[in-house]
Structure 1
């Protein structure tokens, strides 16, 4: 039996390629927005749950973005906040009150939902 050849032509392929190229920056911006929102949500979570004496730890927790806004680090950055590790991990005299890792665990599924919503919004 002889082989037949078929030719397929995709109409509008160049226009599709241009649209996809324009979508990449929109999707990146949507991801940045979701990551930033999750970082701020974690800051709020930590502020609500951290042990309070003077209130310094609650006031000084920060979210710092890097990698072009695609990654956010949440924690204490000031030298005066070095004692935060003793509250997080505990000592002989102070029981542990972990706030950072639990905030990350609570925010993990929320970040996925935020990313999904932002990407869907960018694709519309």
Structure 2
């Protein structure tokens, strides 16, 4: 029986409200928020690359950061269909011990995002 592939998804509560409030603010502040999100996305990608197993280097090389919602939402992970085995490394199998990289990277960067946002807003004002 084939196992269904599940994705880990984290949703930021209040993103819609933040977008509405940013629309009312000057473009400089919106650009500051976009820069902070982009910096956080890059930081999470680098964190995942630092901690992922490197047998062939495929997982290291194929992790991507993508941006949506006018640059206010980032997604970090493996996009290539050939990287299904990333799930095995993340969650583990009978023969491969779990080596979670995505959620720990998100947790580490989550603490930094507010500081990045403050720094970007101050720099642009």
Pairwise TM-score range, normalised by the shorter structure: 0.7 to 0.9
Query: Compared with structure 1, are the counterparts of its residues 24 and 57 closer, same or farther at alpha carbon in structure 2 (3 Å cutoff)?
Result: same
**Partner in structure 1 of residue 116 of structure 2:** 114
Residue 22 of structure 1: how far off its partner (Å): 9.1
CA distance in 1 between partners of 2:62 and 2:26 (Å): 35
| Structure 2 counterpart of 1:75 | 77
Segments of 5+ residues of structure 2 without an aligned counterpart are: 1-22
The CA distance in 2 between the partners of 1:109 and 1:73, in whole Å, is 17
Question: How big is each residue's C-alpha offset from its partner over 1:67-87, in whole Å with a ceiling of 9 and x where there is no partner?
Answer: 010000000000111110000
| Equivalent in the alignment of 1:33 | 35
Match of 1:60 among 48, 59, 62: 62
Over alpha carbons, which structure has the higher Rg?
1
Deviating 4+ runs (over 3 angstroms): none
**2: distance between equivalents of 1:88 and 1:108?**
19
Instruction: Please report the TM-score for the alignment, with normalisation by the length of structure 2.
Output: 0.79
Provide the rounded CA distance (Å) in 1 between the counterparts of 2:105 and 2:59.
15
In 1: Cα distance, 2:38 partner to 2:97 partner: 31
Residue 23 of structure 1 deviates from its aligned partner by 5.1
Aligned equivalent of 2:50: 48
Quote the Cα distance in structure 2 between the aligned partners of 1:23 and 1:108. Answer: 24
Distance in 2 (alpha carbons) for counterparts of 1:100 and 1:24? 33
